[in-house]
Amino acid sequence: MQVTIAGGGMIVHDQILPSFYQLQRLGLVDEITVCARHERTLEELAKSETIRQAFPTHGFRAVAGSYREAIARTRPRNLVVVALPDQLHFDAVMAALEAEQHVLVVKPLVLKVAEGEIIEREAQRRGLFVGIEYHKRFDDRSLVARRKYRAGDFGEFRLGTATLMEKWYYRRSNFQNWCTTENSDAFTYIGCHYVDLVHFITSLAPVSVSVYGIADRYPNGREGYLWADARVVWSNGACLNVQNSLSFPDDAPGSNTQGMTLYCSGGDKGAMLRHSDQYRGLEYVYARRPDSPGATVYAEPSPDYFQYVDLGDGGLTPVGYGYRSIEYLVGCCLRVERASDRQDAIREISNEGVVATPANSRHNEQVIEAARKSILSGGATVSIESPL
Ligand SMILES: NC(=O)c1ccc[n+]([C@@H]2O[C@H](COP(=O)([O-])OP(=O)(O)OC[C@H]3O[C@@H](n4cnc5c(N)ncnc54)[C@H](O)[C@@H]3O)[C@@H](O)[C@H]2O)c1
């Protein structure tokens, strides 16, 4: 399968490109093309020291310019990866489907329920797989919690809290050019992970959302909701509070701070599920401060999301749920492509519910659409029109 990646920013550097290089190493994908608007982005990506160390003999075909043109030039029934700013996802996914491509799209799929429905219908009609990369689903702890919750071990979720704060320096990145009040906000950008996870674990559906956002100026003068406090109410009356921001101090350990606690009722006693998703038990003090942005002398690295390990083959091997998520999604594309009835295969994968597809993760678009309305109206409660 040939792979065309639209977008060459942070997530492509940190997770997507190295994961595809690893799949190339394993013989699961062929040529990789990366398309970004500017030559400079592609040059920086190609020069990345970490990626070169890990994959000294790998490279990608660089295409600067419009992602639509790059997608239109792909050979049918291959794979397009959409890693563009949130508000471009719908256009890029549709362009990929029109070019007869399977699609892997970074979260969030789209910002509106109606757009998600159009994608679902179009992909199903053409027998093409669309998968959304909610990689927290592939953190083993999420899969363990899901199995135990569904076996009844926690009773019923009633009240929860989730936090994901990115570092302050994000404000200086390319984010300031697109993660602005009219396009997105801290909840839409990062909070969606925990909303998806609560559904993934409990299978509950969201029914209403309110998001209070605080707007700040980026260094380039544009305005973004860089602090957000959200309340999501679920089909059984449970309530999840989600706090997100681009505010975690650059001098604090770890690349962010994040975690989730769900308080549950077992009928005659309480139950609880708590994940510290940032502090995973590692405490490092380096002799010198590493060069990467936000790096600190005292660090609490996560061995679970995405790391490189030396397995003695002359390069480095990506490990963690960031890699496993991409591997699983590519496996789904291959499964659909090889199926005698591709439409059936798509339905089967959606029904299994492990990977997010447009058909089985509508809750995300519902919450995001309601959240955007709410944050733009100062935090009003917005009901989800047709809860699942
Ligand atoms: N944890 C996660 O799952 C996670 C983390 C980070 C980002 N993301 C998602 O990934 C997407 C990209 O985020 P990022 O952090 O990489 O952002 P970024 O700003 O670093 O990169 C965006 C890229 O898109 C490219 N681009 C923009 N407009 C384009 C166009 N018209 N044609 C071609 N290329 C264009 C830019 O050149 C840039 O390379 C967003 O949807 C974001 O929500 C997901």
Rounded mean pLDDT of 192-214?
Answer: 97
The reply to whether ligand 1 has any atom less than 6 angstroms from the CB of 9 is: yes
Q: Tokens 């999301």: give the residue.
A: 305
Predicted confidence at residue 242, as pLDDT, reads: 98
Q: What is the pTM of this model?
A: 0.95
The reply to whether ligand 1 has any atom less than 6 angstroms from the CB of 174 is: yes
pLDDT of residue 291 exceeding 90, the answer is no
Predicted confidence at residue 112, as pLDDT, reads: 95
Amino acid letter, residue 305: Y
Predicted confidence at residue 134, as pLDDT, reads: 97
The residue contributing the CA closest to ligand 1 atom 18 is 9
Mutate to test the pocket of ligand 1, among 15, 48, 82, 84 (most ligand atoms within 8 A of CB): 84
**Peptide bond before residue 108 is cis, with ω within 30 degrees of 0:** yes
Predicted confidence at residue 255, as pLDDT, reads: 87
Predicted confidence at residue 167, as pLDDT, reads: 95
pLDDT in tens, 79-135: 999 999 999 999 999 999 999 999 999 999 999 999 999 999 999 999 999 999 999
Predicted confidence at residue 43, as pLDDT, reads: 98
**Averaged pLDDT score across all residues of the chain:** 96
- What percent of the chain clears pLDDT 90, i.e. is strictly above it? 96
Which of helix, strand or coil describes residue 78?
coil
pLDDT in tens, 54-70: 999 999 999 999 999 99
pLDDT in tens, 352-371: 999 999 999 999 999 999 99
Q: Tokens 């999501």: give the residue.
A: 232
Which residues have C-beta within 8 Å of that of residue 100, sequence separation ≥ 6? Answer: 76, 77, 126, 128
What is the CB-side half-sphere exposure of residue 68 using CA atoms within 13 A?
5
Q: Which secondary structure element, helix H or strand E, spans residue 58, and what is its range? A: none
For the chain, first and last CA: distance in Å? 35
Q: Where are the alpha helices (DSSP H) in 159-296?
A: 175-178, 186, 192-202
Which residues have C-beta within 8 Å of that of residue 349, sequence separation ≥ 6? Answer: 129, 131, 332, 335, 336, 355, 357
Predicted confidence at residue 293, as pLDDT, reads: 81
Predicted confidence at residue 33, as pLDDT, reads: 98
Which residues have C-beta within 8 Å of that of residue 220, sequence separation ≥ 6? Answer: 176, 177
Backbone angles phi, psi at 249, to 5 degrees: -55, 140
Token digits of residue 380 = 């009003």
- Atom of ligand 1 at shortest range from CA of 189: 43
Amino acid letter, residue 37: R
Closest listed residue to residue 132, CA positions, set 388, 361, 387, 384: 361
Could you tell me the distance, in angstroms and rounded to a whole number, from the CA of residue 102 to the centre of ligand 1?
19
Contact 180, 224 (CB under 8 A): yes
pLDDT in tens, 295-342: 999 999 999 999 999 999 899 999 999 999 999 999 999 999 999 999
- Atom of ligand 1 at shortest range from CA of 177: 19
The reply to whether ligand 1 has any atom less than 6 angstroms from the CB of 66 is: yes
pLDDT of residue 351 exceeding 90, the answer is yes
The 10 Å Cβ neighbour count of residue 93 is: 30
Strand bridging mode 156-167 / 256-265: antiparallel
CA 282 → CA 279, 308, 345, distances in Å? 7, 16, 41
Contact 324, 138 (CB under 8 A): yes
Contact 300, 108 (CB under 8 A): no
Predicted confidence at residue 285, as pLDDT, reads: 96
DSSP state of 136: G
Predicted confidence at residue 78, as pLDDT, reads: 98
Predicted confidence at residue 385, as pLDDT, reads: 83
Predicted confidence at residue 263, as pLDDT, reads: 98
The reply to whether ligand 1 has any atom less than 6 angstroms from the CB of 192 is: no
Q: Which residues pair with 273 in a beta bridge?
A: 262
pLDDT in tens, 217-253: 999 999 999 999 999 999 999 999 999 999 999 999 9
What's the rounded Cα separation, in Å, for the pair 343 and 348? 9
The reply to whether ligand 1 has any atom less than 6 angstroms from the CB of 380 is: no
What's the rounded Cα separation, in Å, for the pair 158 and 154? 11
Give residue 374's pLDDT band: very low, low, confident or very high (50, 70, 90): very high
Rounded mean pLDDT of 145-160?
Answer: 98
- Polymer length of the chain: 388
Please state the three-class secondary structure of 299-346 as a single string.
ECCCCCCCEEECCCCCCCEEECHHHHHHHHHHHHHHHHHHCCCHHHHH
The residue contributing the CA closest to ligand 1 atom 20 is 9
Mutate to test the pocket of ligand 1, among 43, 106, 326 (most ligand atoms within 8 A of CB): 106
